[in-house]
Amino acid sequence: MNRIEVENLNVYFDEAHILKDVNIKIPNNTVTSLIGPSGCGKSTFIRTLNRMNDLISGFRKEGSIFLDGNEIYEPSVDVVELRKKVGMVFQKPNPFPKSIFDNVAYGLKVHGINDKDVVEERVEESLKSAALWEEVKDKLDKSAMGLSGGQQQRLCIARTIAIEPEVILMDEPCSALDPISTTKIEDLIHKLKKEYTIVIVTHNMQQATRVSKYTAFFLHGEIVESGRTEKLFMEPEDKRTEDYITGRFG
Amino acid sequence: MLFRFISPKTSQKIMKTVFWASGILTIIILIIIIGYILLEGMKVINLEFLLSNPVDSGREGGIFPMIISSLYVTLISGLVAAPLGVGAAVYLTEYSREGHVIKLIRFGAETLASIPSIVFGLFGLSFFVVFLGLGWSVLSGGLVLALMALPTIFKVAEVSIDAVPESYREGSLALGSTKWQTVYRVVLPAAAPGITTGIILGMARSISEAAAILFAVGAAITVPISIFDPGRPLPLHLYIMATEGISLENAYGTAAVLVIIVLIITIVTNTLVERYQKKMMGR
Amino acid sequence: MNNRLEEYLIEKGLFITAISSIIIILLIITFIFIEGFPAIESYGVLNFVFGSTWAPLKGDFGVLTMIVGTLGITFLALAMAVPLSLLCAIFMAEIAPSSMRRILKPVIETLAGIPSVVYGFFGLIILVPFMREQFGGTGFSMLTASVILTVMILPTIISVTVDSLRSVPYEYKEASLALGSTQWQTIRNVIFPAALPGVITGIILGMGRAIGETLAVIMVAGNVTQFPTSVMDPVRALTSNIALEMGYATGIHYNALFGTAIVLFFMIMILLVAANYLHYKKKVVIGGGYL
């Protein structure tokens, strides 16, 4: 089953043509990596999946994106509901200037879950799923700004899974982190894929091979090649893919 | 919490309406005030009103001496406050390192900006008029207004000098220029539009002030010739006309002239700022 | 003249311009206190500040009714101006499309630039008769003055609030929206709490402007030295007291008006210290900020 299907997607910012005829299917409960050099459009692509690009003036798109068979850019679609289903973890950890507990509880509260016991339970569960519980359980009321970068990023993941999305988008989640924190996040991704469909943008090709089942290679706003990760890396069909993964540019 | 009982979607809709309403209300308030004053005032304003002397203490005639008085006090305040404000801004941004003196200077400027205008008025009376013996004159008035314009000019100049890229300074210093040459030939020209905006805003404050000069310029309705002559700037004239009920028509006319001045200043500073931002972005 | 001497002299010259504000403030304080102190001393500090009778001809110089008048007008104005300006600021910073922002910015600047006498004149001609017809009485009242002041302090609070809303990191907004919050939930729970110290600074500055405003208040407040029993009563502000009576005051009366300025000065200083205190605390995280 495919959770997301993208058909002939073209994205423009004012006059700039950022994404060209992108077609991709993203299967359920797997990790899909998006790789490619800086400026290839992979971040723009991932942000169209939860309509975060709507915030940017001059954004315009053609083509269709289906989530569970429903076009997400239909006028009848509630962006807020969509983002609840499609969570996102950003490049730079961006916790709110609130306590650790309140950060995770935030999404629950905005979605109307106010029962104290339920909130506490879900916060604990989410922090456990994000492999952060042991490190923060004694300081839940402390500010999230006091955590290390890696802890902050896992907190952001906990915050995202607390509202039980179907899809988690990760936009280079490890690019601001040290190797040890990166390993922790990767372990976490392995654990999460059982329950969630994960799409991850990464500039680190080793990371793509480590975490993902499928990979798509973006170049100049197009998908050059996509398919099973080992196939794409071991026997790429396109010359440009081969050049990129062997480090000839990028 | 009220919002708990309303769905997020509904509260979003309600609040969006409330926000739009508040924005539009603010615009309406301005339109009502300006519109009313211009509408009534334009009936009175013509070249004769602007260029003739008041007759019968303002019941008839024009506001020529008031315009001249306003020009006098505003120019004096600009001439005195601009060098002080810009100099202080240059010192703070280019010559000093963070420290207690700097904090004190900033606090000084802030305090000066928050002193009520009527307190400036009392100071003007006791210091310029009496202590320095300048008497009721446009000079005394201009000097009081300079004190009020100073913090505005200082603050805007400081921000725009601070915005000059460090690379300009390095480039100039690397060519063997002295610090002052760098400031004078590179930094100040680059910051000029911002500094000009600051000076205009400072002088705008001077031209619209009445309370601070209440006890400093006198209230003469003759044209001041020398800076030691008393005068009656426009805002003061409006105050006297309105509170003493001398002539409603001429009060409207004076108010309209002041409003037009404010509108021109807003347009000029906005154009300057826009051009400045374009220039900085272009580089 | 050699370069080094020139540089030295320029630096010293600039230093003098830099400390000019401080010198001016010291001069202002000195002169106001020298002139005001005799009245406060002879009438007694407590009698002066807490005395409720102001009758210069009989030698009574209690300014309490005016302190009450100033505070009454100020808080009433804040009660109206704060909600409107916060809404308008959030509108400008977060909601308005750019075309609307381009209209609002000069509108706020013009509101800030209109001379206070013009506001007073507008109040006298339009608002006072309106109040008289609506609520009876003379129309000159604490409420009328605070309505005019509301319009006058709107731009102050709006512009400071807009600045502090804009300085909230974009990441917070992005994170909140990505979690499926509505725009309003994001503003209420994330952006506004993060901007709160700046917002309070803006309110304090607006309050300072309200306390210090003179002529616009004189023209509509009625200027009676009595304790108001309702918002429809006329009141006299501290600033008005000075402007109204300075023209003919002599002797101890003259000194008492400077004394009024000393009281005013202290009120402003308290606000300024509070604003600065907040300014330094600005970076402090507001934990658990659910409003």
Q: Are the beta carbons of A84 and C180 separated by less than 8 Å?
A: yes
Residues of C in contact with A159 (CB under 8 A): 175, 179
Q: In this complex, which of C179, C193, C290 lies closest to A163 when CB atoms are compared?
A: C179
Whether pLDDT at B182 is above 90: no
Confidence class for position C290, pLDDT limits 50, 70, 90: very low
pLDDT exceeds cutoff 90 at B99? no
Query: Does A99 contact C288 at a Cβ distance shorter than 8 Å?
Result: yes
- Smallest CA-to-CA distance from C211 within C168, C161, C260, C279 is with C260
pLDDT of the residue at B271: 86
Is the pLDDT reported for residue B3 higher than 70?
no
Give the minimum alpha-carbon distance from A230 to chain C in angstroms, rounded to a whole number. 31
* Among chain C residues, CA nearest to B20: C91
Contacts of A97 in chain C (CB under 8 A): 172, 193-194, 285-287, 289
Measured distance CA(C110)–CA(B281) in Å, rounded:
26
Q: Is the pLDDT of residue B186 over 90?
A: no
Give tens-digit pLDDT for B110-161: 889 889 999 999 999 999 999 999 999 999 999 999 999 999 999 999 999 9
A127, part of any domain: no
Q: Residue B280 has what pLDDT?
A: 63
Q: Is any Cβ of chain B less than 8 angstroms from the Cβ of C249?
A: no
Q: Contact C288/A159, CB-based, under 8 Å?
A: no
* pTM attached to this predicted model: 0.85
Share of chain B above pLDDT 70, in %: 96
pLDDT band at B175 (very low <50, low <70, confident <90, very high): confident
pLDDT at B165: 85
pLDDT of residue A250: 53
For residue B65, the one-letter residue type is P
Q: What is the mean pLDDT of residues A142-152?
A: 90
| Cβ–Cβ gap A80/B9 under 8 Å | yes
In this predicted structure, the answer to whether residue C209 has a pLDDT above a threshold of 80 is yes
* C-alpha to C-alpha distances, A214 to A29, A81, A211, C22, nearest whole angstrom: 11, 27, 9, 68
- Chain C residue with CA closest to A101: the answer is C288
Interface test with B, best of C118, C153, C218 (most B CBs within 10 A): C118
Mean pLDDT of the region C28-32 = 95
Mean pLDDT of A203-222: 92
Instruction: State how far residue C62 is from chain B, nearest Cα, in angstroms.
Output: 19
CB contact under 8 A, A110 and B8: yes
B95 confidence band (pLDDT: 50, 70, 90) = confident
Is residue A155 assigned to a domain? no
Q: Which residue of C has its CA nearest to A91?
A: C171
Chains that touch B (3 or more CB pairs under 8 A): A, C
Task: Identify whether A132 is part of a domain.
Answer: no
Question: Is the per-residue pLDDT at C84 higher than 50?
Answer: yes
pLDDT of res. B15: 92
Nearest CA in chain A to C183: A80
**Among the partner residues B11, B131, B266, nearest to C184 by beta-carbon distance:** B11
- Number of domains present in the structure of chain A: 1
Q: Chain B closest CA to A133's CA: distance in Å?
A: 29
Smallest Cα distance from A153 to chain C, Å: 12
Specify the range with the lowest mean pLDDT, choosing from B176-190, C10-24, C75-89: B176-190
Residue A214 domain flag: yes
> Which residues on chain B are in Cβ contact (under 8 Å) with C122?
33, 36-37, 255
> Chain B partners of A80 at a C-beta cutoff of 8 Å?
8-9
User: Quick check: helix, strand or coil at residue B115?
Assistant: coil
Beta carbons within 8 Å of C11's beta carbon, 6+ residues apart: B91, B95
Residue of A nearest to C174 (CA): A52
Mean pLDDT of C215-232: 93
Average pLDDT, chain B: 89
Helix (H, G, I), strand (E, B) or coil at B130: helix
Closest Cα in chain C, distance from residue A181 (Å) = 21
Q: Mind telling me how many Å the CA of C181 is from chain A's nearest CA? A: 6
Mean pLDDT estimate for chain C: 90
**Read out DSSP for chain C?**
--HHHHHHHHHHHHHHHHTHHHHHHHHHHHHHHHHHHHHHHHH-HHHHHH---EEGGGTEE--HHHHHHHHHHHHHHHHHHHHHHHHHHHIIIIIS-HHHHHHHHHHHHHHHHS-HHHHHHHIIIIIHHHHHHHH-S-S-SHHHHHHHHHHHHHHHHHHHHHHHHHTS-HHHHHHHHHTT--HHHHIIIIIHHHHHHHHHHHHHHHHHHHHH--HHHHHHHB---S--SSTTS-B--HHHHHHHHTTT--HHHHHHHHHHHHHHHHHHHHHHHHHHHHHHHTTS--TT---
Give the confidence band of C2 by pLDDT, cuts at 50, 70, 90: low
Out of B4, B7, B8, the one facing A114 most closely (by C-beta) is B4
Asked whether residue A45 is assigned to any structural domain, the reply reads: yes
Q: Which of A98, A161, A172 to mutate to test the interface with C (most CBs of C within 10 A)?
A: A98
Is C268:C207 a contact under the CB 8 Å cutoff? no
Residue C51 burial class via C-beta count within 10 angstroms: exposed 0-12, middle 13-18, buried 19 and up: middle
Phi and psi of B139, rounded to 5°?
Answer: -65, -50
* pLDDT tens-digit series, residues B222-248: 899 999 999 999 999 999 999 888 888
C246 touches chain B (CB under 8 A): yes
- C266 at the B interface (CB within 8 A)? no
Map tokens 């347009």 to a residue. Answer: B267
CA angle, residues B143, B146, B149, in degrees to nearest 5:
160
Q: Which residues of B touch A110 (CB under 8 A)?
A: 8
User: How many C-alpha atoms does B258 have within 13 Å on its Cβ side?
Assistant: 34
∠ CA(A234), CA(A237), CA(A239), 5° rounding?
100
Burial (CB < 10 A; 0-12, 13-18, 19+), residue C74, is buried
Which top CATH class is B47-281?
mainly alpha
| pLDDT at A156 > cutoff 90 | yes
Instruction: Evaluate if residue B35 carries a pLDDT over 70.
Output: yes
| pLDDT over 80 at B25, yes or no | yes
Cα dihedral across residues B217, B219, B221, B222: positive or negative:
negative
Estimate to the nearest angstrom the gap between the alpha carbon of B190 and the chain centroid: 23
> Is A104's pLDDT higher than 70?
yes
Q: C179 and chain A: CB distance < 8 Å anywhere?
A: yes
Cα dihedral B113, B117, B119, B121 sign: positive
**Which of C95, C154, C212 lies closest to B19 in CB terms?**
C95
| CB within 8 Å: B119 and C100 | no
Band of the pLDDT at A33, cuts 50, 70, 90? Answer: very high
Beta bridge partner(s), residue C289 = none
Whether C183 and chain B come into contact, CB under 8 Å, resolves to yes
| Position C258 confidence tier, pLDDT thresholds 50, 70, 90 | very high
Q: Is the CB of residue C119 less than 8 Å away from at least one CB of chain B?
A: yes
Structure tokens that stand for C102 in this block: 């381009």
Chains that touch A (3 or more CB pairs under 8 A): B, C
B165/B202 Cα distance (integer angstroms): 25
Partner-chain residue, chosen from B91, B255, B266, that has the shortest CB–CB distance to C110:
B266
φ, ψ of residue A238 to 5 degrees: the values are -95, 140
CA A72 to chain centroid = 17
Per-residue DSSP letters for chain A? -EEEEEEEEEEEETTEEEEEEEEEEEETTSEEEEE-STTSSHHHHHHHHTTGGGGSTTEEEEEEEEETTEETTSTTS-HHHHHHHEEEE-SS----SSBHHHHHHHHHHHTT---HHHHHHHHHHHHHHTT-HHHHTT-TTSBGGGS-HHHHHHHHHHHHHHT--SEEEEESTTTTS-HHHHHHHHHHHHHHTTTSEEEEE-S-HHHHHHH-SEEEEEETTEEEEEEEHHHHHHS-SSHHHHHHHTTS--
Q: Any idea where the domains of chain B sit in the sequence? A: 2-42, 47-281
Q: What share of chain B in percent tops pLDDT 90?
A: 59
The pLDDT > 90 percentage for chain C reads 79
Q: Does B7 sit within 8 Å of A112, measured CB to CB?
A: yes
* Mean pLDDT of all residues in A13-29: 92
Structural domains of chain C, ranges and CATH numbers in brackets = 65-242+271-281 (1.10.3720.10)
Of residues B36, B127, B180, nearest to C126 (C-beta): B36
Residues B8, A78: C-beta atoms closer than 8 Å: no
Q: What local confidence, expressed as pLDDT, does residue B247 receive? A: 87
Q: How confident is the model at residue C281 (pLDDT cuts 50, 70, 90)?
A: low
Kind plus residue range of the DSSP H or E element containing B54: strand B54-55
Is a pLDDT exceeding 80 seen at residue A244? yes
Q: How many angstroms separate the CA of residue B10 from the nearest CA in chain A?
A: 12
CB atoms within 10 A of CB B152: 23
Q: Tell me the average pLDDT across A163-170.
A: 92
**Predicted pLDDT of residue B229:** 93
pLDDT band of C285, cuts 50, 70, 90:
very low
Whether C212 sits inside 8 A of B118 (CB atoms) is: yes
Which domain covers residue A233, as residue numbers?
A: 2-97+166-245
Q: Of C65, C62, C48, which is closest to residue C225 (Cα–Cα)?
A: C65
Put simply, the answer to whether A111 touches B8 (Cβ < 8 Å) is yes
Query: Which residues from chain C sit within 8 angstroms of residue A107, using beta carbons?
Result: 179-181
Residues of B in contact with C73 (CB under 8 A): none
Q: How far is B7 from chain A (nearest CA, A)?
A: 8
- Which CATH number characterizes residue A186's domain? 3.40.50.300
User: For position C283, what pLDDT does the model report?
Assistant: 42
C257/B84 touch (CB, cutoff 8 Å), yes or no: no
* DSSP letter, residue B246: S
